[in-house]
Chain A
């Protein structure tokens, strides 16, 4: 990891090799990530951070080989150099972004979070250690993990001109700014803006123990502020009342035992609930509070701007319906993940819901518990395909 402290340091001062794109899922890269997984797992520090463990588990060789099965085209190679601009408040996203860049056969420049998270240091140390091995020296020269001040816009401009792909994680404002920075004509931009996610639960399925824990993992582990953490819960089926009681009571026990709210979070939630009482007034059926651990606003009708009513840290909007198609009007391109729980074919019902209703949003339909799991498909992109080019051979 290079830390660039001064704003006057430009590319001339960094040693960057000409990018040498390689085949997607090359043995070298898969082997490297597999070694990274082992190195992290062997590091005692890793165990302190569940998000680092999750990443280490994700990039183990057997999982990557499983992912490869998706990609049959053997004539795909990297586009060249990927510039990753990573989010400041999720410590491990940079690692997945970097792994995507490697798996798709590219050289990478990764702008790390400006905050010095211990997770970032653990992963970067492991990467640097591996890059010193003879077999990975060449790979190391193709990749830079850097940290620089956001005020250093000149550096972002210079890096943008060298990029064949830019991956940007950020607010709409950040993305608008990066879009205004010129690139090479063929440069591909993959933007991950702020998204909104929801959860649909079919109460015709029996309540399963462990469901609350899975839901907790999707929400509270990231303060319910990850793009893929649900904020709206849609209830359907014949046993809504009974199911809800089990569900929220089980969740309440978990949250009280495992989750600590800061005074700031409490103050924000408490205030937001009053603002909602004023603003949503007639749309509200009831408001339920479980101490301060869970706030629930039950709506009789879904306002079209529900995606702008964002709260976090255990704050849910609920809607009950016999027909999930009644939610069609709220779904726009901002919707990312739909987590679900239901009987066997419920997944297919939801798939038809998205496709047959010609929705512009919802890129992922995954069971409750998998909202935060990263794959190589994200935000509606096949990431490996997007970051590589196909050589058409006839």
Chain B
């Protein structure tokens, strides 16, 4: 069992590696599929994320599973992530450490750009809402159960907390859709609604955004222009590694927390240099009930350095560029018809 406080305070490489090795050993001993892969292919190779779609991967007895999380499942079948009490607790504690280092510990009024219905599906939205709720008070959903925007509620929330620091949270995709609707808000109330003191935190669901080619800087600029929100934190996280998310710093880079490590891979699976883009491999000390501690994603990114980001934060910092492009191979078997 890892000690969140110790990992957070200590930050030594040897402690990290030792903890990781112990965690890996636990998965080898407890997850039969992981053990077979380990046996035939050797230790410490990342597990490809697609396996979580194809198999029910568990490293604790089924009876100890308290919750199953699902990927949004935009590409065929969904990933299934099995959580026990221990893992869920680690996720919550780690998330708290990471997020409070960006936005502080104080609970603030929170506007969630989502429907409370999202809590029912156990997806990335659920993980995000539950994970960030401890930072909020008077948690208010901008959308109703019918997923229609509740203008009155938003106006009321705005009036109640005018001038106070608040948090606005939502999946990137939802936040993106929300922006044009605010135009409607302005016309029906005859005045601008601005949130000078708000912190906007958004993440996940960005894959759906790819088709709009949204540039992160342009995205931020729109929020600043329309709503006067300047504190915006994007985060990158996988449902396979809930909790150990990567938060975007003031300089626009995603940062690796002490609970994670990140590498980029070339097509021969050697590690990329800093500045070179490749397939992202993510490691996390949190997953205990399922072997998600060392995964090969289907995302492309570039790591720029370790500890030398201009924001002054420690750890590796990187950008995500999107999904691995879908390239058709040659061969026969697919007729034009």
**Using a CB–CB distance below 8 Å, which chain A residues touch chain B?**
85-90, 93, 111-114, 150, 156, 168-171, 174-175, 177-178, 192-194, 222-227, 229, 260-267, 270-271, 273-275, 277-278, 281, 284, 286-287, 289, 291-293, 312-313
For the complex, what is the distance from the CA of A112 to the CA of B336, rounded to whole Å? 8
For the complex, what is the distance from the CA of A210 to the CA of B296, rounded to whole Å? 36
B334 CB-CB contact with A under 8 Å: yes
B307 to chain A, nearest CB (A): 28
Q: A111-B337, A171-B334 are in contact. List 17 more A-B contacts (CB 8 A).
A: A86-B336, A87-B333, A150-B337, A169-B335, A174-B335, A175-B335, A225-B333, A266-B267, A267-B50, A270-B48, A270-B269, A270-B296, A277-B37, A281-B36, A286-B40, A292-B269, A312-B331
For the complex, what is the distance from the CA of A87 to the CA of B334, rounded to whole Å? 5
Do residues B327 and A262 form an inter-chain contact, with CB atoms below 8 A? yes
Do residues B48 and A225 form an inter-chain contact, with CB atoms below 8 A? no
CB closest chain-A residue, reference B326: A264
For the complex, what is the distance from the CA of A273 to the CA of B39, rounded to whole Å? 13
Within 8 A of A (CB), among B36-74: 36-37, 39-41, 47-48, 50-51, 54-55
On chain A, the residues within 8 Å of B324 by CB distance are: 263-264, 267
Task: Select which of B33, B298, B330 is within 8 A of A278 by beta carbon.
Answer: B33
A228 to chain B, nearest CB (A): 8
Do residues A150 and B336 form an inter-chain contact, with CB atoms below 8 A? yes
B332 CB-CB contact with A under 8 Å: yes
CB closest chain-B residue, reference A169: B335
Do residues B336 and A292 form an inter-chain contact, with CB atoms below 8 A? no
On chain A, the residues within 8 Å of B36 by CB distance are: 277-278, 281
Task: Select which of B41, B268, B330 is within 8 A of A90 by beta carbon.
Answer: B330
CB closest chain-A residue, reference B46: A270
On chain B, the residues within 8 Å of A277 by CB distance are: 36-37, 39-41
Task: Select which of B55, B279, B334 is within 8 A of A267 by beta carbon.
Answer: B279
On chain A, the residues within 8 Å of B268 by CB distance are: 261, 291-293
Do residues B267 and A89 form an inter-chain contact, with CB atoms below 8 A? no
Given contacts A277-B41, A292-B267, contact A223 B332 (CB under 8 A): no
Do residues B37 and A168 form an inter-chain contact, with CB atoms below 8 A? no
17 A-B pairs whose Cβ atoms sit less than 8 Å apart in the complex: A85-B336, A113-B336, A168-B335, A169-B335, A171-B335, A223-B330, A225-B329, A225-B330, A226-B331, A263-B267, A274-B47, A277-B37, A281-B36, A289-B41, A291-B269, A291-B270, A292-B267
Within 8 A of A (CB), among B5-62: 33, 36-37, 39-41, 47-48, 50-51, 54-55
On chain B, the residues within 8 Å of A266 by CB distance are: 267, 269, 279
Within 8 A of A (CB), among B299-337: 300, 324-337
CB closest chain-A residue, reference B331: A225
Task: Select which of B51, B270, B327, B334 is within 8 A of A274 by beta carbon.
Answer: B51
- Of B40, B269, B327, B335, the most chain A CB neighbours within 10 A belong to B335
On chain A, the residues within 8 Å of B332 by CB distance are: 87, 89-90, 93, 169, 192, 194, 225-227
For the complex, what is the distance from the CA of A286 to the CA of B330, rounded to whole Å? 29
On chain B, the residues within 8 Å of A89 by CB distance are: 328-334
On chain B, the residues within 8 Å of A267 by CB distance are: 48, 50, 279, 296, 298, 324
On chain A, the residues within 8 Å of B50 by CB distance are: 267, 271
For the complex, what is the distance from the CA of A207 to the CA of B130, rounded to whole Å? 64
For the complex, what is the distance from the CA of A229 to the CA of B329, rounded to whole Å? 14
On chain B, the residues within 8 Å of A150 by CB distance are: 336-337
Given contacts A274-B48, A274-B51, contact A170 B329 (CB under 8 A): no
For the complex, what is the distance from the CA of A88 to the CA of B329, rounded to whole Å? 11
- Of A85, A90, A274, A293, the most chain B CB neighbours within 10 A belong to A274
Do residues A90 and B327 form an inter-chain contact, with CB atoms below 8 A? no
A109 to chain B, nearest CB (A): 13
CB closest chain-A residue, reference B333: A194
For the complex, what is the distance from the CA of A261 to the CA of B329, rounded to whole Å? 10
On chain B, the residues within 8 Å of A313 by CB distance are: 329
On chain B, the residues within 8 Å of A222 by CB distance are: 330-331
Within 8 A of A (CB), among B226-275: 267-270
Do residues A223 and B279 form an inter-chain contact, with CB atoms below 8 A? no
Do residues B41 and A263 form an inter-chain contact, with CB atoms below 8 A? no
CB closest chain-A residue, reference B297: A267
On chain A, the residues within 8 Å of B336 by CB distance are: 85-88, 111-114, 150, 170
For the complex, what is the distance from the CA of A57 to the CA of B311, rounded to whole Å? 63
B47 to chain A, nearest CB (A): 7
For the complex, what is the distance from the CA of A185 to the CA of B153, rounded to whole Å? 71
On chain A, the residues within 8 Å of B54 by CB distance are: 275
B34 to chain A, nearest CB (A): 9
B137 to chain A, nearest CB (A): 43
Do residues A284 and B40 form an inter-chain contact, with CB atoms below 8 A? yes
Do residues A265 and B337 form an inter-chain contact, with CB atoms below 8 A? no
On chain B, the residues within 8 Å of A275 by CB distance are: 51, 54
CB closest chain-B residue, reference A177: B337
On chain A, the residues within 8 Å of B329 by CB distance are: 89, 223, 225, 265, 312-313
For the complex, what is the distance from the CA of A87 to the CA of B40, rounded to whole Å? 37
On chain B, the residues within 8 Å of A156 by CB distance are: 337
